[in-house]
Structure 1
Amino acid sequence: MNTITLNVANRIIESALDRGRELNLKPLSVAVLDAGGHLIAFQKQDGSSMLRFEIAFGKAYGALAVGSGSRWLNAAAAERVHFVQALSGVSGGKIVPVPGGVLIRGEAGETLGAVGISGDTSDNDEICAAHAVEQVGLAADKG
């Protein structure tokens, strides 16, 4: 596989939402992007608050922008404030530098896309994202 199909994206979303229900998390919103940062699929659970699409998208987009899961961006935001501010500026404010954005890697380690989740704590969002990617037989890079 060298790209993420709509079918795979929807399976990732369903798996992430299932995991969130298993863990009794707050309502989740899940965005799956291709390697170029284009949205493939998005779903939000009933009761999700506003801006959850933008946050989930921004976590995934940020992971793609730096080639590492958004956990890396979270650390960079504390250590390299100017870098993350510049990244936000050049991306038009699209990047959300907190955990919950996970790169989706193929068998050879190539980047196929990313999944971003928002709704619960960033750590729980990341747990669901990584779980969902692994459930479809791909590798999750949390950063």
Structure 2
Amino acid sequence: MSRTATSRTAVAPLTTEDAELLVAAARNTAEQAGTSVSVAVLDAGGHLLAFRRDDRAVLISGETSIRKAFTALQLNAPTADLVDAVQPGGPFHTLPTALDRPLLFIAGGLPVHREGRLIGAIGVGGGTPAQDHTFATTA
């Protein structure tokens, strides 16, 4: 019996400090655009590390930012890239309601990688889907 040794270098997890920097960067970009948003950052396990809802952001943006981040994390893909997949006839058509924790296929969620490994996700809500995607990407 032979063993093949594989070398895996540990990658530092997403920290609270990292998460707060992502929130600040997304919020600053949104503020420059004159948009009030909510920003959520999750670690690789889907746990909330940082969250901020601007005073004037619509209330639902808090929930959408978290769900966008969760969706990006679970599928390791930007939510903007998944919108067509949940349309009737798409490969993920029933996926938004198949889980206990609903996914949200609206632009604004992005996975966060370090050294090619998934370490968390960011979600932004409150602007248009295109704006939210830009704010998350900028962060």
TM-score class normalised by the smaller sequence: 0.7 to 0.9
CA contact (8 A) 2:46 2:73 kept: yes
Residue correspondence of structure 1 range 19-30 to structure 2 within 5 A: 19-25=29-35, 27-30=36-39
Unaligned segments of structure 1, at least 5 residues: 133-143
Scaled by the length of structure 2, what TM-score is found? 0.85
User: Which structure 1 residue ranges, 4+ long, deviate > 3 Å from structure 2?
Assistant: 79-82
Richer in helix (by share)? 1
Q: Which has the larger radius of gyration?
A: 2
Structure 1 vs Structure 2: percent identity of aligned residues? 29
Q: Deviations over 1:61-105 (max 9, x none)?
A: 1111112111122121226447242x2233225211011001111
Unaligned segments of structure 2, at least 5 residues: 1-10
Is it true that 1:94 corresponds to 2:110 in the alignment? no
More displaced stretch, 70-79 vs 51-60: 70-79
After superposition, the CA RMSD in angstroms is 1.6
The residue type paired with residue 124 of structure 2 is: I
Scaled by the length of structure 1, what TM-score is found? 0.83
Q: Deviations over 1:109-130 (max 9, x none)?
A: 1111000000000111111111
Q: What is residue 76 of structure 2 aligned with on the other side?
A: 67
Aligned length, in residue pairs: 129
| Match among 15, 30, 43 for residue 34 of structure 1 | 43
